[in-house]
Structure 1
Amino acid sequence: MSGPLLTPDRALSRALVRTVPDSVTERLADLGNIPVAVPVLALAMAYAARRGRGRAALAAGLAMALVPALIVPLKDWTARPGPLEPWAAGYFPSGHTATALTAYTCAALLIAPDTRRPWPQALAALLTALTATGLILRGFHWPLDVLASLLLCTPSLLGVRAAASKRPGRSGGAAQARPPGGRVSGQPPK
């Protein structure tokens, strides 16, 4: 294994691995497990669909389905060993990070229109950061494994954001502005 980023990646990993008790870092890393993160997304998808945002829910489900379709072939192709298991391969990029980022961010995007506050996005960022921190500190992944997953998932999340920002029932055309009385000119009063 070689490359210009390998030396700083190894140095950073050596400085960080096992600086926090394993019992803590394992719990943090578990936030990126499929049985933990995906049910959060599934609940948010059901909520969004019930609120008339089925297209956004579908986009979020597609983004989650893209995670293994993107990550698994890259793991096989790169065959990068892990920090604590140099004999094993398939660590780059981090599937747990990709799962956490996608599930929690999509869930936040799906419920955000009804909250009108930044806490869903902040919580998604926190859960993803905790997952990534746990993975690195425990030695399950190199720092660049985590960074690569964050970058690889960003385009699909931007697509979900675009789908979630569209208001249901809009055809995409310009809506008529309503004056203070609530009527559009030319329409009879109700």
Structure 2
Amino acid sequence: MTALSIGPDVRLNDAAELEAALRHIGATRYHNLHPFHKLLHGGKLNKGQVQAWALNRYYYQSTIPLKDAVVISRFRDRATRMEWRHRIEDHDGDVGSEGGIERWLKLTEGLGLDSAYVESTEGILPATRFAVEAYVHFCRDRSPLEAIASSLTELFAPNLHEERISGMLQHYDFVNPDIMSYFKRRLAQAPRDAN
């Protein structure tokens, strides 16, 4: 078997070693370790700062189905497209079922933001727009394998969601379980996506 490479000095022999290496990267470098997330989950932000986070994050959340449509478009193989399609439905929803975008809007509404304003994206930071659009371009322009691999952050997301749910409910009197439904649903969806 040919060894897998995840960097100039790292060669792995099998899928289990690759997964272990990825999980190590997640444990040491995932964005839940960023000082901002420590402040958010620890109750150290004011309501305006939490609103600004939710507003800017909406642009990312609402773009995930576009990114996943780009990923799907990269594959001639029907089985791969079908396997990936649920990710679009998870975020866009389907006839009669709520998706992640609607649940994110429930969060922003619960935080006191007007949904029309949030959906307009006029209030997001230019850096947010740049980063999110760069992610879509990456999935379009890099190899199909890299496009799919860009979603491997789902390996680490459940721990982040658990941390976020408990921390925000504990520390902010303006947060309630109903507006945290996006994160609760992702506790089941993220592991399926990672698999």
Q: Sort the TM-score into its range (normalised by shorter chain).
A: 0.3 to 0.5
TM-score by length of 2: 0.34
Question: Greater CA radius of gyration, 1 or 2?
Answer: 1
TM-score by length of 1: 0.35
Structure number with greater CO (CA < 8 Å, separation at least 6) is 1
